[in-house]
Amino acid sequence: MGREERTVATESSVTEPEVEVAVAALRRHGVRYVVVGGQAIGKAVRATGDVDVMVTTTDYPGSVAALRTDEDLEFQGEDQGVARFAMRSMDGEPLDVINAAKFGGSHGGDGFFAFLEEEESVERDGIPYAKPAVVWYTRLMVDRWRLYSDKILQDLLGGVGAGRMRRVVEIARRFGTEETIRERVEYVRGEMKRPDLEYDLRDE
């Protein structure tokens, strides 16, 4: 696991322009964050233009309020702990600010964010990015997890090692969400066996 993560951390240091714009806004308002979602895995798999960042549960209301005053951001709404902004200088590409509360299980959102920041993120160009396993964990913890399981399959086909699925279960065990996650991980593993995907399971 350690060798695998160092490989990811030392890939191309070119930051996507959408991330640069989003991070500039976050820094203008002193928001503590970690980049999650596709942009966190984007060095191995081509990322979409939207940027997802996670913040602590305690900081979430104040962070959203501060970002709503930013001239480069247009607030588009909030739903289930996710506040969406459009980045004007990036032709409206979305910036989603995510409350960590949904992912912390018995440890709460602030506990999960501390774990994410201290143990499951790497820094590139001074920007903290979540590691792939914790990105997959967050994808499988949301209500639309089946939709996001397709993104996990895309990551796998793009070269992200399948061994990280074990780490997803370890994270769930740590936060008391194993009962929810295990069934969903098994679903993804089942999808990996589809003949049309031609995925090499030897990495598992």
Kind plus residue range of the DSSP H or E element containing 141: helix 132-141
**DSSP letters for 90-102:** GTTEEEEEEEGGG
Q: Quick check: 45 pLDDT over 70?
A: no
Q: Of all residues in the chain, what percent carry a pLDDT higher than 90?
A: 72
Q: Quick check: 9 pLDDT over 50?
A: no
Q: Quick check: 8 pLDDT over 80?
A: no
What domains sit in the chain, N to C, each tagged with a CATH number? 2-203 (3.30.460.10)
Q: What is the pLDDT of residue 199?
A: 54
CA 149/CA 185 separation, integer angstroms? 9
Closest CA to 155 of 181, 192, 119, 116: 192
Q: Quick check: 2 pLDDT over 70?
A: no
Q: Which band of pLDDT confidence, cut at 50, 70 and 90, is reported for residue 21?
A: very high
User: What tens digit of pLDDT does each residue of 53-109 get?
Assistant: 999 999 999 999 999 999 999 999 999 999 999 999 999 999 999 999 999 999 999
Kind plus residue range of the DSSP H or E element containing 202: none
